[in-house]
């Protein structure tokens, strides 16, 4: 969280548009934190997107695109891996943004599997709010039910490995 993943996705999609490539960007329909339709970064950059309920919908909706962007990919099911593979095999450039770990520091599928089939991976880090080191964990600050709890600065904060408190994230 707060590492600039969505901002980087938006930047790459804008560059593709400047290059006159046909683009489509998708996000999970469940992610309505900042907008129901737009992909919005924490710094309020935004781009129009198509919300989808399932990764499989992307294949049908991206037929005319040359470049396909997928935001908050951790909220999709494991079908996303095959969707990305099919898009790439059809000659499309696929740009995926998502968290690779959940709030407990565990791999957050389908991201690790998407990373495994990707030609290029850029791993961005936030800044730990406790000590200022590079942060690779999302510290959950509130008790929540289940693995997915949509939220922003009031719900999560970036922490480095040393400052990450698993007991706090787990609600203990």
Domain count for the chain, please give it: 2
The whole-number pLDDT of residue 43 equals 67
The whole-number pLDDT of residue 42 equals 65
Q: Are residues 138 and 57 in the same domain?
A: no
- Nearest one of 20, 25, 22, 24 to 6, comparing CA atoms: 25
Query: Residue 46 sits in a domain of what CATH number?
Result: 3.40.50.300
Cα separation, 86 vs 15, in Å, equals 23
Domain span holding position 100:
5-117
pLDDT exceeds 80 at position 148: no
CA distances 134 to 2, 15, 155, 160, 172, Å, are 11, 27, 19, 6, 25
The whole-number pLDDT of residue 144 equals 67
pTM: 0.88
Is residue 134 very low, low, confident or very high in pLDDT (cuts 50, 70, 90)? Answer: very high
3-state DSSP assignment of residue 26: strand
Tokens describing residue 57: 């919908």
Q: Are residues 21 and 91 in the same domain?
A: yes
Active-site residue set? 72
């Amino acid at each position: 969280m707060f590492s600039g993943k969505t901002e980087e996705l938006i930047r790459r999609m804008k560059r593709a548009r400047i290059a006159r490539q046909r683009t489509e960007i998708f996000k999970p329909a469940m992610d309505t934190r900042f907008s129901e339709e737009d992909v919005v970064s924490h710094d309020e950059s935004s781009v129009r997107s198509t919300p989808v309920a399932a990764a499989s919908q992307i294949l049908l909706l991206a037929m005319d695109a040359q470049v396909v962007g997928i935001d908050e990919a951790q909220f999709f099911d494991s079908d996303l891996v095959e969707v990305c593979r099919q898009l790439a095999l059809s000659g499309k450039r696929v740009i995926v943004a998502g968290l690779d770990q959940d709030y407990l520091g565990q791999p957050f599928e389908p991201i690790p599997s998407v990373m495994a089939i990707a030609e290029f991976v850029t791993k961005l880090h936030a800044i730990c709010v406790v000590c200022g080191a590079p942060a690779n964990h999302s510290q959950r600050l509130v008790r929540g039910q289940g693995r997915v709890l949509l939220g922003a600065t009031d719900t999560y904060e970036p922490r480095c490995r040393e400052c990450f408190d698993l007991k706090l994230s787990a609600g203990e």
